[in-house]
Amino acid sequence: MEAMQVDLRGQTALVTGAGRGIGRAIASALAAAGARVFLAARTTAQLESVAREIRQNGGTAVPVPTDLSNEEDIQSLFQTIRDQAGGLDILVNNAGVGVFGSLAEFCSSDFDRLIQVNTKAVFLCCQQALHLMIPLKKGYIINISSVVGFKGYPNQAAYTASKHAVMGLTKSLAVEAQECGIRVSAVLPGGVDTGMAAEARPDLDPKILLQPEDIAHTVLYLLSLSDRAAVDQIYIRRRGSQPF
């Protein structure tokens, strides 16, 4: 994909959930804009595929297989970034899982998994990123939330709770981190043509959904802004859906 007019040469980025879908599109867009991109996800083959595609297009990518439900794996991921790059300019918390079903019959272990990956991993990655960004007094953290970060849908209560938590974390961290020159934003996509959307909303025709590249362009837009601008959140919905 063609990058927007944003120059990220000399910057280091980390994208979680980079093996497919939205994460893959974001990683490719950041690399096309010149960033050195660390790719984190569980599936090694998917990461290697993304890295290979980025390199073929002239970019720089470092795949780091990571189980984001494991705190030690997250610590190891950031140690790799320290060792190989020395710092971090951009963190995109995109990794997430979706488990859906009625609350009355929802399995508590599935709820635990949603919180572990969708919420706790975001908390831990933000924490590790701050350790790298605070000494430099700069950086940008972008959390990929969801329309369910402020809306509710049937059979998505547990997933919605995890994304509401991401929004609470993002709002507080945005205030806390700005004193250190670090910006924090959330992107809240509506329906995007991914496997998770197909599972959550099988009633929707994939042809009317957003594409992962739409979210990648939104991330690039945030990164294109001057240091004078701070954006708290962007809700990007598919055309034809109900606003707010």
Catalytic annotation, residues: 159
Please provide the average confidence, as pLDDT, over all residues in the chain.
92
Determine the Cα–Cα distance for residues 128 and 153; give it in Å rounded to an integer: 33
Phi and psi at residue 8, to the nearest 5°: -110, 15
pLDDT band at 5 (very low <50, low <70, confident <90, very high): confident
pLDDT digits (tens, 9 = 90+) for 197-213: 656 567 766 676 778 89
Nearest to 144 by CA among 173, 122, 177, 171: 122
pLDDT digits (tens, 9 = 90+) for 66-112: 999 999 999 999 999 999 999 999 999 999 999 999 999 999 999 99
Question: How many other C-beta atoms can be found within 10 angstroms of the C-beta atom of residue 113?
Answer: 16
The gap from C-alpha 107 to its chain's centroid, in whole angstroms, comes to: 26
Structural domains of the chain in order of their starting residue, each with its CATH number: 12-236 (3.40.50.720)
Residue with tokens 């780091």: 64
